[in-house]
Structure 1
Amino acid sequence: MTSQYQRDSQTSVGYGNTPSCSLEKVHETNWQLFMWFASLEKVESYVCLFIVSWDVVNNAELSTKEFEEEITTMIQMIENLGANYTNYSMILNNYKNCRYNNDQANQTIRHSLVRNSWAELENCGLKVSSTVSDQLTRCSPSQRGYLRRMIISRIRSFQPFAHVLKENAMFKNQTSNLKKENSQDDQESLKRENEKLRAQITDLIKENSQQQVALGNLTNLSWNDDDPNNSKKLIRDITDLQDMLSDFTMVQGNDYKINNEAATALLEKWDCKVNNPGSRTNLVLGFLLQRVAIDTIMTAADKYFNGNFTNQDSDLEMDLINATANLIYCTESLRDKRKGDDDITKITPIKIRQNVYSALSCRGLPVDHTLIKDTAKKLLEEMNLYREVVDEETKDELDEQAIQITHKVIHIFYFRLKTQASEPTYQFFDAGQPVEPRLMQGAFGNDEIRKLEVEACGFPCIGIFSSDKLNSKIFMKAQVITRPKQ
């Protein structure tokens, strides 16, 4: 008995009169094509093969029911494979619509889909698509049906793998989500813990800062940069005082008239070798008056702090200074007579001195204090012994300058210098002393130093003087006028 497949094969016409496919005689080309069909690995390849296998069937031979069933089955199976293949189900739907509609637009789409399908098959290894197309055309309807059922079977075989892959993907997503959730929970927990630690650190810093303030920062003897007792600001204030004294003791110009007799006596007192009157004499006299001004103020201040000042209406600053001296003496005795190696005891006398005199420099002896006003008056009287101020406006200005200079001299020399960790002292230089550039400032060059000596010193050298130059520190050099050595 001859099978349906044998009958179809025998009635199919191949090249010439040779059957294109026969169970009794397998043509080499047919076998290679069969092997190629079986070697296809991608879903999209079978979709393309499905389209071209149906496209060789003309509309007259098209079985609508069979076409509808097969293409619907293909679409459903491809959609079951997952989202990655939805594009191919759309291609099949488009091809289905084109076969049912013969208008020009749909036929253009159909030809494009078929052309793209053949191109895809050629990319998969099909060498001559036109020959295969002719061969499919010569196949009987049942042979083409076998081919399409093989395609459907192959697509169906992908479904278990797709299901496994889908489950694996879902498992990975779930695992990833769990990890992400756990990671987010861990991150939130770490974030909260970090915020707690930051808050604790902030509280500790604040507490430590408060303790430092409460303890007065006992181990630190230096002043902050913005503190008025910082050494740089102290030097700047000393420079301002120099400028004020220079203006206050001026004797040159039409606003002033020099008392030659008193001026000559002053020059002789300080052993100045200049002839009065003269332009150089006026310069030297101005320097001497600066020293006279400082001496006058300091003499009055010494009397006040020793309790011998006339009109002493308030002993507050003097009492505080005396109490501080006693407290410093006691803490120094504790340091020297009691055993121990702590730093607090060593620096306590210094801190007491620094803080008390810092307070005095801020509030002690204001400009309206009796000492300041009476000393300023005495200062003006002393200046008027050596020069007379002719201009009334200048005279009024000097009254205010005398107050400011008196206040500044006392505050710098009696309070501000004592706020430093190592207390600076001051030193005037007398006429005839050798010039020392390290301690003096004036109109002289380094090559002239050996030939010069001091004529007059208007402002003292302020510094920490030590036989060891490395431990010395000069805050302000002395202002001097020099002369050739006698």
Structure 2
Amino acid sequence: MRGAFSKARKVTSNENALYKLETVRDEDWDFLIWISSQMKWEIYAYLFIVIWNNTEFGEDRMFEFREETMSMIRYVRKLNKSMCIDDRKAKEFINLFNDYRDYRIDNYFAERNRLITFVLRELEAHGLKNKSDFYEQLKVLPMKQKKKLRDIVIDRMKVLIDMTPYNDKSLMNSGKNDKNNLKDELDALKNEKDILCEQIFELQKENSKYQAAHGNLTNLGFSDEDPNNIFWLNKDIKNLQDLLGDFTLVSGPEYEIDVTKCNELLSFYKCNNVEVESQHGKQILSAALQRLTIETIIAETKNFFLTNSLTIEANLVTKTKEIVDLANLFTKEYAENDEIAKAIPTKIRQQVHSMLGSYAFSYDEHPLLKKISEIVLEKLNQYRKVIDDDSEEDNEIIPIIRKIVQLFFYRLEAHPIIPAYNFYENGTEINPLFMESAGTKSKDMKKLEVEICSFPVIAIFDTDNDKSDNVFSKALIIPKTKSNNNTSLETAITTPNE
């Protein structure tokens, strides 16, 4: 391969940046090809640190930095649990991420520079050429491009993690990969990418027509870059589902379950005749704990707002509702035929809830996060306990609570038509429009019904016809063979503000 990253043209003295992205030659993009072709997770781990080291941040990016670092640590732990790497290597990389986080936040410049020198040397050993040119180019990239580069690294890391079902203990012993399975996995990912690209293209066309017809003043949709755009919202929901799945694990020597209590929980969700100590039973139990976690957080958040109505978040929502109601009355009285005036109440609601969905409860010591984390952990510990001394449950639950509150109380409310959400009950007929189950083929759906629903469907429903105008996220379910007394499709829905 030619130099993985050749130097760009220097800019004249009256320009600020030393390098310009527009002047990078075709060969310079060999570096991006090099990134996308890598199959070693270690390279993405090192790249993650190097990119962040060239990203300036204050309080506004501190939370993003912490959360992304925790995600990378979580991926390393997954590799370790799936027996792809040994304990020594897992500890080595976890320490690397923790050290960089601490050096960066606490401004230990000397230690941080030594760590970066080590990381760049490792990247060079893995095939990166002209590392100094690459490092200089990173410095002048705009923040948006640095963010997209980090997204690529994190997404590729997740793709490699998703392939770990093939990387069992036998692979550690033999050191050989199943090439056929890997090829199938890559082909499936390519097909999924093509489908997503087509969907994005159609959404962009639809959005363009909408904006052209109504103009910016009456446009209630979201731009492609807006975090509440359905594409990015769905991506964040998938991330939340992954966090919940990790947090509610019950398989492994580090977990101890109370069989009696767990049977009571499964009975509450009408999951009868489940052998809770079997592998399948533990999957159902984990799904039940995920649903319990979501329901508890939503219920306790409502209670918190009722008893703490003067907090800035609760007060902002209350005052916004008052203004929106008054604006609707005014429009109806004086400007019923003015499309711009009629859009203003909805735009006010959207803007306020969009802001809250991005920034509410950003610091970990917020009273709501602390109180609900104690309640959730106490409730889950009735059913399963983590006996690992190095458990970080207290730290892991905080971002989960934050994401659930921001999603169900604010981000859904930011949409022109507010989506509803619903958990499907045991025995409900499976509808592929609203539900999905890992490993279940569409042709088998008619023979199955819901055993447990771990994450609710989020959609704009047409309740008269059991259809949906727009599904934001399908319900996650574990199916079972149909019984004789299965129920019809549940159409009861819950809106975020109920």
Aligned to 2:218: 219
**2:354 is matched with which residue: 354, 358, 362?**
358
Partners in 2 of 1:249 and 1:462 — Cα distance?
21
- 1:296-349 per-position Cα deviation (integer Å, ceiling 9, x unaligned): 11111111222x25xx8x611111111111112122223334453111222122
Partners in 2 of 1:337 and 1:275 — Cα distance?
63
Secondary structure at the residue paired with 2:351?
Answer: helix
Checking the alignment, whether the CA contact within 8 Å between 2:276 and 2:285 is kept in structure 1 is no
Aligned-residue offset at 1:433? 0.7
Partners in 2 of 1:485 and 1:352 — Cα distance?
47
Aligned to 1:85: none
Quickly say closer, same or farther: Cα 1:339–1:347, change in 2 above 3 A. closer
Partners in 1 of 2:447 and 2:329 — Cα distance?
49
Checking the alignment, whether the CA contact within 8 Å between 2:248 and 2:286 is kept in structure 1 is yes
Checking the alignment, whether the CA contact within 8 Å between 2:335 and 2:341 is kept in structure 1 is no
Aligned to 2:24: none
Aligned-residue offset at 1:218? 2.8
Checking the alignment, whether the CA contact within 8 Å between 1:435 and 1:453 is kept in structure 2 is yes
- 1:256-300 per-position Cα deviation (integer Å, ceiling 9, x unaligned): 011111101001111103133322110100000000000111111
Aligned to 1:296: 296
Quickly say closer, same or farther: Cα 1:471–1:379, change in 2 above 3 A. closer
Checking the alignment, whether the CA contact within 8 Å between 1:431 and 1:454 is kept in structure 2 is yes
Checking the alignment, whether the CA contact within 8 Å between 1:441 and 1:478 is kept in structure 2 is yes
Quickly say closer, same or farther: Cα 1:471–1:480, change in 2 above 3 A. closer
Matched, 1:475 2:472: yes
Secondary structure at the residue paired with 1:472?
Answer: strand
**2:394 is matched with which residue: 395, 399, 402?**
399
Matched, 1:320 2:319: no
Matched, 1:383 2:380: yes
Secondary structure at the residue paired with 2:241?
Answer: helix
Partners in 2 of 1:424 and 1:304 — Cα distance?
23
Superposed, which structure 2 residues align to 1:150-161 within 5 Å?
Answer: none
Secondary structure at the residue paired with 2:277?
Answer: coil
Partners in 2 of 1:248 and 1:391 — Cα distance?
13
Superposed, which structure 2 residues align to 1:58-457 within 5 Å?
Answer: 217-273=216-272, 274-306=274-306, 308=307, 315-338=311-334, 340-366=336-362, 367-393=364-390, 395=391, 397-442=392-437, 443-457=439-453
Percent sequence identity is 34
Aligned-residue offset at 1:236? 0.8
Checking the alignment, whether the CA contact within 8 Å between 1:218 and 1:351 is kept in structure 2 is no
Aligned-residue offset at 1:445? 2.4
Amino acid paired to 2:305: F
Amino acid paired to 2:251: Q
Aligned-residue offset at 1:471? 6.2
Quickly say closer, same or farther: Cα 1:446–1:362, change in 2 above 3 A. closer
Quickly say closer, same or farther: Cα 1:446–1:331, change in 2 above 3 A. same
Larger Rg: 1
- Structure 2: where are the runs of 5+ without partners? 1-214, 484-498
Count of matched residue positions in the alignment of Structure 1 and Structure 2 = 265
Partners in 2 of 1:352 and 1:436 — Cα distance?
36
Aligned-residue offset at 1:243? 0.2
Amino acid paired to 1:399: D
Checking the alignment, whether the CA contact within 8 Å between 1:464 and 1:474 is kept in structure 2 is yes
Partners in 2 of 1:350 and 1:470 — Cα distance?
25
Checking the alignment, whether the CA contact within 8 Å between 1:304 and 1:318 is kept in structure 2 is no
Give the TM-score taking structure 1 as reference length. Answer: 0.52
Aligned-residue offset at 1:473? 0.4
Secondary structure at the residue paired with 1:368?
Answer: coil
Checking the alignment, whether the CA contact within 8 Å between 2:336 and 2:342 is kept in structure 1 is no
Checking the alignment, whether the CA contact within 8 Å between 1:242 and 1:459 is kept in structure 2 is yes
Quickly say closer, same or farther: Cα 1:471–1:291, change in 2 above 3 A. closer
Checking the alignment, whether the CA contact within 8 Å between 1:425 and 1:462 is kept in structure 2 is yes
Secondary structure at the residue paired with 2:425?
Answer: coil
Checking the alignment, whether the CA contact within 8 Å between 2:421 and 2:456 is kept in structure 1 is yes
Quickly say closer, same or farther: Cα 1:405–1:263, change in 2 above 3 A. same
Give the TM-score taking structure 2 as reference length. Answer: 0.51
Partners in 2 of 1:449 and 1:230 — Cα distance?
30
Partners in 1 of 2:268 and 2:396 — Cα distance?
26
Q: CA RMSD in A?
A: 1.9
Checking the alignment, whether the CA contact within 8 Å between 1:377 and 1:402 is kept in structure 2 is no
- 1:82-102 per-position Cα deviation (integer Å, ceiling 9, x unaligned): xxxxxxxxxxxxxxxxxxxxx
Partners in 2 of 1:370 and 1:484 — Cα distance?
44
Checking the alignment, whether the CA contact within 8 Å between 1:293 and 1:379 is kept in structure 2 is yes
Partners in 2 of 1:446 and 1:361 — Cα distance?
35
Partners in 2 of 1:449 and 1:229 — Cα distance?
31
Aligned-residue offset at 1:468? 5.9
Secondary structure at the residue paired with 2:385?
Answer: strand
Partners in 2 of 1:469 and 1:265 — Cα distance?
32
